Structure 1
Amino acid sequence: MTASEPAGPGPIRVFLLDDHEMVRRGVRDLLDGEPDIEVVGEAADRREALARGPALRPHVALLDVRLGPGSPEGDHEGIEACRELRARMPELACLMLTSFDDDEALFDAVMAGASGYVLKQIKGSDLVSAVRTVASGASLLDPGATARLMARVRGETDPVPPELARLSPREREILELVGEGLTNGQIAQRLYLAEKTVKNRISSILAKLGVGRRIQAAVLAEKIRHRDPAADEPG
């Protein structure tokens, strides 16, 4: 079992990162009140989170996007913490918590490997559900946020990542269907493949692209659909 792999029937182990003590206390009280969730630790800044988090073997990290209010260097510190924690614990599910509806932060969080992104105005019961959702391995992005994310990708001028060149034509086809939001079963039906084959192909695609989440792969799929790959090839 990896350091952050869900521990079967045991409680969901949660780690908190927020620079406001009262916020951490409130979230801890909320989550610890659930029979299937246990807050195993907390931190007030990224350095403390990286020093303490991995040893506590959390399944979910609930991370504030912005740490150190008013300091530019703290603007997206929580997202950097997500990136670094997942580099050490690839199975860790990071749930980003922020007071701002910020499309740039949403994009950066997804590309850092976050499993979900919620606003601090969320109801307590919904936050508990969000923790359970990402702990189960699912992503948590509402349709509106996903639409804005994809709109940003369509408007970008960056070239298609060179990692896409590693994909076979069939893998690119599967990736595009992932980008359309199809499930493994739906992709299998569309391409007349076994669902297990699709699952294995998607695992290979994620590995080749160097990403760990389907939503990250969907972002790259959007780049394929809205840019002519030939335009990035040397003439």
Structure 2
Amino acid sequence: MIVDDHEVVRRGIAEVIDRTEGMSVVAEAGSVAEGIRRANLVRPQVMLVDLQLPDGTGIDLMSSLRDTLPDTRAIVLTSFDDDDALAAALQAGAAAYVLKSVRGAEIADVIRSVSAGRTLLDERTVTRRRAGHDDPTEDLTPSERKVLDLIGEGMSNREIAERLGVAEKTVKNHITSLLSKMGLQRRTQAAAWVAGHKRSAWRAESGD
């Protein structure tokens, strides 16, 4: 289910989802009140929620539905890269926080991960972002670190899957998770981070 007050945005997201195997849009809404009513009717597995709505916020919507739809998982899809909003979304029970600048394929990956039960943001992520933590990879799993290194080498998802001996879908899930933990939106940003980190390490070793 998609809750956004801009019809063009809803239509664009719906097209991406409907083209993705195994996914379909069961309802749309443009306000908190409409979202509550329709969600209780269709009981969606996953709900994409904008933060700014005409009669309230996406936080209000998620909070209102937590008791009546405990199995519905929420993804905040917003234009605001704001730490306070991120913390509020976490408190309201959101499983992921995604900026609208994200690519369509990445939205599908996030939906797939969240519907499978994964949570792509946590209290440590919020705390680290607020503190401006020096190491955004601190919370990565060993597998996610390997995938990050291979992204830095310029490998595609298929090449990474072959190198690690796992399914390409597994690689996509790792990438979705590591991007969220690092506070990034695209794999190109992850590649740039690896490149910059390696340059810094080389300079430190060479004494420059």
- State TM-score, norm by structure 2: 0.60
Provide the alpha-carbon RMSD of the alignment: 2.5
AA at the equivalent of 1:117: Y
Partner of 2:33: 47
- 1:1-235 equivalence runs, <5 A: 15-68=1-54, 74=56, 77-141=57-121, 145=126, 147-148=128-129, 151=131
Could you tell me how far apart the structure 2 residues matched to 1:103 and 1:182 are?
A: 20
Instruction: Count residues with an aligned counterpart.
Output: 135
- State TM-score, norm by structure 1: 0.53
SS at match of 2:118: coil
AA at the equivalent of 1:49: G
Deviations 1:41-98 (A, max 9, x none): 0100000011111210210000001113xxxx64xx1111011122211111100011
Could you tell me how far apart the structure 2 residues matched to 1:138 and 1:95 are?
A: 11
Contact 2:3 2:31 in 1 (8 A): yes
SS at match of 1:88: coil
Deviations 1:192-222 (A, max 9, x none): xxxxxxxxxxxxxxxxxxxxxxxxxxxxxxx
> Any unmatched runs of 5+ in structure 2?
133-137, 142-208
Identical-residue share of aligned pairs (%):
42
> Any unmatched runs of 5+ in structure 1?
1-14, 153-179, 184-235
